[in-house]
Amino acid sequence: MKNKCFGICYNPEISGALEAGLSIKNKLSDYRIEAQVFNIDELSAGFDFVFVIGGDGTILKAARFYAKNKTPIFGVNLGRLGFLSQASGDMLDEAVSKIVLKDFVIEDRVMLQTGSSIALNDIVIKGSSTGRTSRFSLKINDKSVCDYLADGIIVATPTGSTAYGLSAGGPVLTPGLKAFVIVPICPHTLTARPLVVPDSEKITVCTSEKDKKYVISADGQEFCEASRIIEIVKSPYSAKLALLNNSDFYTILRDKLHWGESPAFCA
């Protein structure tokens, strides 16, 4: 890794992020590795590997950018949940050492695309009128599947299945599954349930409500308006997440989401 070009991206809105970035740079210098430190609003290409310091939102933004350059990223969590990160602020030295010594793996994570927007977690479609439900028709490979009267629809990747989709009642998908999950948001139909489909399918969401605008969000960060027909497919890009060799998805579920823990009982 000594001849590689390293980037260190940090979120200036998170306390201690810049200091953590400088700490990583100093640690890399111990291995005679040069690195450039920059904030999340100054993303640039040309790196072989990028440390991303912040919360999940910071990692999502960096992942969308660096997926187009096939650049691996490594998340350092200084936010709240940090589900996409691999290290916290108190284990920077250990993490940097493992990266330099190549004690890590790179996972390709499938991404979604609609128009020019790509997403690592999810694409969400909602009506532009706050507080009102909308009518959606779902098609898979141009074949009608069902109609929803709901607040919106989430189309999530396995990576994003633990985010908004999970909060809306969707299932958890392991990252390696070649699938997407479609979750209606607060549907007004008791039989409306989440649907898991292969990631090779074309998902189309359309509406018969004339002149009504819909808001599409990619990872809850990039927004645009659309009407009538929205097509969502597997992106040609994939996010390359660097994971430490001791990383385990089910351990992360248990530690970060307290998955399957019994409730505490009072004596």
According to DSSP, the β-strands at 73-77 and 49-54 are parallel
Q: Is 248 among the domain residues?
A: no
The answer on 226 and 119 residing in a single domain is yes
At residue 209, the pLDDT reads: 67
Kindly name the residue from 30, 48, 56, 248 that is annotated as catalytic: 56
Place of tokens 């998908």: 173
The structure tokens listed for 93 are: 């030295």
Same domain, 202 and 168: yes
Q: The domain that contains 217 carries what CATH number?
A: 2.60.200.30
90 classed as catalytic:
no
Decide if 255 is inside a domain.
Answer: no
Which pLDDT score is estimated for 73? 97
Q: How many domains does the chain have?
A: 2
Flag whether the pTM goes above 0.85.
yes
Looking at the structure, tell me whether residues 97 and 202 fall in a common domain.
no
Same domain, 31 and 145: no
Residues 174, 229 within the same domain = yes
Decide if 135 is inside a domain. Answer: yes
Dihedral sign, Cα of residue 30, residue 32, residue 34, residue 40 = negative
Are 77 and 130 within one domain?
A: no
Query: Which pLDDT score is estimated for 211?
Result: 59
- Whether residue 250 is contained in a domain is answered as no
Residue 180 sits at the vertex; the CA angle it makes with 130 and 40, to the nearest 5 degrees, is: 65
pLDDT in tens, 18-53: 999 999 999 999 999 999 999 999 999 999 999 999
Both 206 and 128 in a single domain? Answer: yes
The tokens for 33 are 């590795």
Residue 189 within a domain: yes
Q: Which residues of the chain have pLDDT under 70?
A: 1-3, 79-82, 129-131, 208-211, 246, 260-267
Looking at the fold, whether 127 and 51 belong to one and the same domain comes out as no
> Could you tell me where the beta strands, DSSP code E, fall in 151-227?
152-156, 179-185, 195-198, 203-206, 214-218, 222-226
Q: Is the residue at 145 inside a domain?
A: yes
Give the pLDDT confidence score for residue 11 in this predicted structure: 95
82 and 131 both lie in a single domain:
no
User: Is 126 inside any structural domain?
Assistant: yes
**What CATH number does residue 15 fall under?**
3.40.50.10330
pLDDT at 131: 67
Whether 30 is in a domain gets the answer yes
129: left (phi over 0), alpha (psi -120 to 50) or beta: beta
User: What is the span of the domain harbouring residue 191?
Assistant: 113-236
CB 14 within 8 A of CB 54: yes
